[in-house]
Structure formats: C-alpha cells, structure tokens
Amino acid sequence: MNLDVGRLPVTNKYAVLFGWGLRVTDLLVVVAAGVFAYAVRFGSFDLPLEYIRCVVRGFVFAVLVFGSVPLYRSWRGRSLFGELATMAGAYAALFALLVLFSAALKLSAEVSRLWAGGWALASFGGGALARLGVRHATRWTRTRGMDLRNAVVVGGGRDAHHIITTLQQHGWSGIRVTACFRTEPDCCASFDGVPCGGEIADLADYVEREHIHQVWVALPMRDQDRIREVLDALRHSTADIKFVPDLFGMQLLNHSVQEIAGLPVINLRASPLEGEKRLLKALEDRIGALLILVLVSPLLALIALGVRLSSPGPTLFRQKRHGLGGKVIEVWKFRTMRVHGEGDDNVRQATRGDPRVTPFGSFLRRTSLDELPQFFNVLQGTMSIVGPRPHAVAHNHQYKDVVDDYMQRHRVKPGITGWAQVNGLRGETDTLEKMRSRVEHDLYYLQNWSLLLDLRIIARTALTAFFHRNAY
C-alpha cells in the first residue's frame, strides 16, 4: 500500500476561511458590542478611558476563553441549538472572569453595571448572528458541491440505506457518499445512485485511491468480527471511522453519542487535535519555534561552521520522512556523518561507535543539537515541537505490518521531541520490542494530549538532552 496517499481528513479551504472568519468576528463583536452598549446607555460613541480599558480587557479575556472551549470545533451536520449552547457557556465564562477581575482590583465602580449587562447581551446576540451567517454561507457552498467530505458506507440493508438517503437529503452537512461496501455476497446494491464498491477486502484500496475522508460502519453491535475486520482493513488509513449502531428499541444509559445530520454516531477513530486544540497546538508551535530560533541563532551559526570544518559536505542533512497523514516531508538536521551513498530506501540507523559519524557529529547527536534545524520545519508547518518522532520512510514500510496501530502515529504532525523520547526510548530501535514500546508511548501521547503535557515534555527534554546515553 502506498503510504503517501493515506492521510488525515484535509481541511477544505472554505472551512479554513469560515473558521478563521468566525474567530476574528467573535473578537470584533466583543469590542463592537461594548461600544454599541455605551452608545445605547449614554447616547455617545465617545468612550471614556475607563470604559476603553474595560473593553480592552474583554478582548484579551475573549482570546483566552474562546480558545479554551470547544467553540470552534467542526459543527458539520450538528444542530444550531447545540452550537449556541456552547457559545452561551463561553460568553458566560468570559463576562464572569471580567466581573471577578474587576472586583478583585476594585474596578467595578468605574463603569455602569447597566452598561456591562448590555455589553454581555449585545456580545451574545452578535456572536449568534455571526454563527447564523456562517451556517447560511456553509449551507450555500455545500449544496453547490464545495467544502465536501467524501465518505463510504460499510454494511447493507435498512441501516446502510437509511444513512445514505439521510446524508443525501441533508446536503448542507457537506458529506458525500461515494460508495457502499457489502459484508455479505449480494447484500449491497446501489442506493439512490451510490454504487457498490465491493467487499471489505476492497475497502482499503478504495479509501486510499479515492481520497476518502470518512468511513461509516453500519453493522449491528453484536457483529464484532465484521467490525474488527473493517478496522483491521483500515489499520494503515488515517480516514475517520464512524460507527453507526442500531439503537432502535435500545435504552442506553450514561453513553455519549455524537449526532450528525440526525444520525447517532460513535467515533471509533478520529484526529485527536481538532477545533480549538488544533489552533492552540499551532500557536504553541509557531510562537515557540520563533522564540527558540531567535535565542539560539548565534549557536546555529557556530554549529554550521563546525559541521563544515568537521568533514567535506553540506551543512544540513535532509531525509524524507512521513508527516501528518502519511504525507512525505523533508526533515532537516545538521549533518553528523561523513557523506556516504545511502539512500532513503536503504536507511541504516546509527549505532554505537558508528564509523560514519564524525567526532563533532557525535557531540551534536549526544546533545541533540543536530535537531535544531527542525525548528524551521516547525515554522514551515510540517512538524511540531512535540509529537511522535518521524521515522525514515523505509522504517515505516518495515514496521507498519508488524507493530499494531503503527500508522496511527501519523494522525498528528511529527515532533522534534516526544513522550517516548523523554521516557528513555530515544536512539536506535534495534529490536521489535523497542519499536513497539515507542509506538505505545506515541499512542499514549495522542490519547492524552494537552498543552500541559507538551510543556512537561519540553522541560524534560531540556533537562535530559545533555545526559542521554542512547544518543550516538
């Protein structure tokens, strides 16, 4: 299977436009609502200094609060009521923080409470109107064949037919079903123009070839063998897998079921970084990489000079690796070895006492200073500061069939450092067990990501970089 094609669902340019537009609009609404509420209360747009300061505080708090709640996750196919409820909670938290801040600093007497109440109501009203506008715009684009996600349905009978017809009727959800895959011979026929793609054995190739973003599994929950067969067939794919259980006549307690276009859906696999998490991670990467590069720029110049003097050849070493969604990227490092003829298809990991490594290169590898150029990869957007370490393309082909869930590492951008590395799994993976342990740590990171965990990993990396014995 060609790993270059299998990838995470890509964010459409329209989704990016609408998402960022809504983020900017929310912040502008907070400011504009404060000015509007003052004009209604006092009949003037000329705000005194204390009111300007309060509006500025509201803007700053809005940046913090709105980025910390699931306000900008994908609402594709979900109800407006649910989105407005989430928005109401975010605005309530924003103005509660403003009240507490003002009370703590004894600033509440400087402004009118009636104005503050009007400001809160006007902000919520403006935010709600913005979301109505975005929903109308997305509905318009999706019903005209833009901003779509390609999907396939696995299963047959009433459930598969119900999913396909419902998604076709709700074109505003932006989900286009391109094929249906049968689980039994002759159980899958064409549903309202959707062709039969074949059996489960044909599923993985179709998902890869046709750039499918979502796989909807319409099988009874008791049919665990078939569900497991689907998951196994897609073990190398990073498409989202959604399980649509048959819940008719079944009473569920304490279960959380996502609803898309009126259909109950359980996500079996999905990207761990969506919505506000993706934005927070991007800000962490870009701001952090820029600050670090500015601070270490003199060191970069000295290392570059040392590499050139250590042996003939280029300063930087570039190797093809698999990045987000299996896409091949170029990872940059300072060259630590003498120039040799090894290619990307025949990669031999460095070993202790490796004659290819120069003395200066050995120092760079022990201290991880050879990784510093990868901060340019982070600014470029192909890597993160923290994430699963990118393996060579040849190693991915070697391990993907022998290590369970190996390719799930590619659901996030590869990192300069990671949870596996700060737990001693750095350097050569000369045994299968070492690679399995590294993948287990990478999957733990994906399942438990948080900004605090990233900061912990960065701190531990800084403390252990000069004392790690496995780097050579």
Question: In this structure, are 120 and 48 located in the same domain?
Answer: yes
Question: In this structure, are 335 and 203 located in the same domain?
Answer: no
- Is residue 339 scored above 80 in pLDDT? no
Place of tokens 């009203």: 125
At position 351, the amino acid (one-letter code) is T
Cα distances from 414 to residues 321, 323, 377, 390, in angstroms, run 9, 6, 10, 5
Specify if 4 maps to a domain. Answer: no
pLDDT of residue 376: 93
Specify if 302 maps to a domain. Answer: yes
**How many structural domains are present in the chain?**
3
Cα distances from 293 to residues 9, 155, 331, 335, in angstroms, run 31, 52, 16, 18
If you average pLDDT over residues 155-164, what whole number do you get? 81
- Is residue 48 scored above 80 in pLDDT? yes
Question: In this structure, are 67 and 116 located in the same domain?
Answer: yes
CA-based nearest residue to 11, from 72, 57, 59:
72
Question: In this structure, are 256 and 321 located in the same domain?
Answer: no
Q: Which of 88, 109, 142 is the last residue of a domain?
A: 142
Percent of the chain whose pLDDT exceeds 90: 18
Question: In this structure, are 32 and 75 located in the same domain?
Answer: yes
At position 125, the amino acid (one-letter code) is G
Specify if 3 maps to a domain. Answer: no
Q: Which of 240, 269, 298 is the last residue of a domain?
A: 269
Specify if 128 maps to a domain. Answer: yes
> How far apart are the C-alpha atoms of 163 and 244, rounded to whole Å?
9
Q: Of 46-55, 259-268, 363-372, which gets the smallest average pLDDT? A: 259-268
Question: In this structure, are 95 and 27 located in the same domain?
Answer: yes
CA-based nearest residue to 245, from 214, 271, 224, 272:
224
Contacts of 302 (CB under 8 A, 6+ apart): none
Count the neighbouring beta carbons within 10 Å of the beta carbon of residue 446: 18
Q: Of 10-24, 292-306, 389-403, which gets the smallest average pLDDT? A: 10-24
Specify if 471 maps to a domain. Answer: no
Specify if 231 maps to a domain. Answer: yes
Question: In this structure, are 233 and 195 located in the same domain?
Answer: yes
Give the highest mean pLDDT range of 100-109, 232-241, 378-387, 397-406: 378-387
Domain with 78, as residue range(s), is 13-142
CA-based nearest residue to 359, from 421, 432, 307:
307
Query: For residue 163, what is the domain's CATH number?
Result: 3.40.50.720
Percent of the chain whose pLDDT exceeds 70: 79
Question: In this structure, are 261 and 129 located in the same domain?
Answer: no
Structure tokens, 10: 């890509």
Specify if 36 maps to a domain. Answer: yes
> How far apart are the C-alpha atoms of 162 and 152, rounded to whole Å?
13
Question: In this structure, are 30 and 99 located in the same domain?
Answer: yes
Specify if 2 maps to a domain. Answer: no
At position 322, the amino acid (one-letter code) is H
Overall pTM surpassing 0.85 (yes/no): no
Question: In this structure, are 163 and 209 located in the same domain?
Answer: yes
Question: In this structure, are 261 and 245 located in the same domain?
Answer: yes
User: 3-state class of 329 per DSSP?
Assistant: strand
Q: Which of 142, 174, 198 is the last residue of a domain?
A: 142
Question: In this structure, are 209 and 129 located in the same domain?
Answer: no
